[in-house]
Amino acid sequence: MNLFLNDLSFHGQFETVPQFQDSIDRLMRIRKTAKDQFDRQILCHKNMKAVKITADMFIQEVVSKHLPRDMRVPLMEWLLRTSSWTYKHDPDEIWTYDDDGKEELATDAALAEAAFLTANGEDCHLISITPSRWTKTPICVRREEPLLDVEVENHIVWETLEHALRETEKPIKNWGELEEYCRRRFTSLVFANDAFEPLWKEARFSHAESSLFVRLFDALDKLKRDVDDNGERSEDGRRIYESFFKGGQPSFTDSSDSEKNDSIFRLRLTFARPEHPGEMIECFWHGKTRYQQLRFHFNWPINADTPLYIVYVGPKITKK
């Protein structure tokens, strides 16, 4: 999938620099998450060097003079210095889009490149800053000659982009690929170095169970990122907790009291702390699949200031 920052969504709409700072901060977080979790870059058009931010200030002035250094440096690097790629569409072709009933040129913009690539079978998406005029999706683009109409997907929030990226991921074909995928994507979880060894040594690969592991790790990853310093969850966090930890057959459960009172079994559920191998940690809580009775164990409770460890992934650990 090709991701392009929509330079047309910067059109002098911000009333103040702080308003722009809030918006660009959200956009930078989207960029970082796309890179960290999916290894996808959001490419910038050369026009980004000249877009307007407020009615009387362009981006270079705003970034260089009005933003704090910890934001200015990475933003300059992304927007202004790494803003070129090899364009594939013919610059002589005329591309237009509809702006509230008014036909506007898109020829020399990321939108035209995304439309050209989409028309040629490549998966291309735009990411637009918000607030702006560019909140709808898909965006309808027209090439004048030869006549061609193209729809380009546009994202203004991480949730829709994440869904699109997940839909285009290559299918996982073995436990090794599952491990690589989970370590790369679920950055709020701390996996022990040997966490997956029991899985690929003792269990037959299953596409269904691989997909379920991804779903369960995703839920834990979101819960870890959601919890605040007081241990409270947002509405979304509470919904995830109710879906995965409650009900008749929850996906996550604690070990029973009889299991915890069994000294041998308790020892089997005691693992080296990933970041401090000399320390031990009990991990009774586990996520489960039912076909091969696979499990993964993690520490509990989930707090903002302590790591969430995944210490074991493999067949169910029993008393025997």
| Single pTM value for the model | 0.59
Q: Are residues 102 and 180 in the same domain?
A: no
Higher per-residue confidence, 318 vs 130: 130
pLDDT at 299: 97
Greater confidence (210 vs 167) lies with 210
Q: What is the pLDDT of residue 131?
A: 95
Out of 154-158, 221-225, 233-237, which region has the weakest mean confidence (pLDDT)?
A: 233-237
pLDDT digits (tens, 9 = 90+) for 276-291: 888 999 999 999 987 7
Asked whether the predicted pLDDT for residue 212 surpasses 70, the reply is yes
Higher pLDDT, 314 or 75: 314
Q: How confident is the model at residue 117 (pLDDT cuts 50, 70, 90)?
A: confident
pLDDT at 48 over 70: yes
Q: Give the range among 4-13, 65-74, 164-173, 204-213 with minimum mean pLDDT.
A: 164-173
- Average of per-residue pLDDT across 160-186: 89
Say what the pLDDT of residue 82 is: 56
- Asked whether residue 147 falls in the same domain as residue 211, the answer is no
Last residue of a domain, one of 163, 188, 220: 163
Chosen domain end from 123, 145, 163: 163
Let me know whether 150 and 201 are in one domain: no
| Section 195-210 average pLDDT | 92
Band the pLDDT of 248: cuts 50, 70, 90: confident
Q: Are residues 124 and 159 in the same domain?
A: yes
Once rounded to an integer, what is the mean pLDDT over residues 111-126?
86
Q: pLDDT band for 46, please (50, 70, 90 cuts).
A: confident
Domain containing residue 181 = 172-315
Among residues 110, 137, 163, which one ends one of the domains?
163
Name the pLDDT band for 80 (thresholds 50, 70, 90). Answer: low
- On whether both 125 and 196 belong to a single domain, the answer is no
Looking at the structure, tell me whether residues 157 and 120 fall in a common domain.
yes
- Name the pLDDT band for 298 (thresholds 50, 70, 90): very high
- pLDDT value for 224: 94
* Claim to verify: residue 48 and residue 189 sit in the same structural domain: no
Across the chain, mean pLDDT equals 89
Across the range 194-212, mean pLDDT stands at 91
| Tally of domains in the chain | 2
Which pLDDT does position 55 carry in this prediction? Answer: 93
Q: 3-class secondary structure for the chain?
A: CEEEECHHHCECCCCCHHHHHHHHHHHHHHHHHHHHHHCCCEECCHHHHHCECCCCCEHHHHHHHHCCHHHHHHHHHHHHHCCCCCCCCCCCCCEEEEECCEEEECCCCHHHHHHHHHHCCCCEEEECCCCCCCCCCCEEEEECCCCEEEEEEEECCHHHHHHHHHHCCCCCCCHHHHHHHHHHHCCCEEECCCCCHHHHHHCCCCHHHHHHHHHHHHHHHHHHHHCCCCCCCCHHHHHHHHHHHCCCCCCEECCCHHHHCCHHHHHHCEEEECCEEEEEEECCEEEECCCCCEEEEECCCCCCCCCEEEEEEEECCCCC
What per-residue confidence (pLDDT) applies to 174?
A: 94
Please give the average per-residue pLDDT across 266-275, as a whole number: 94
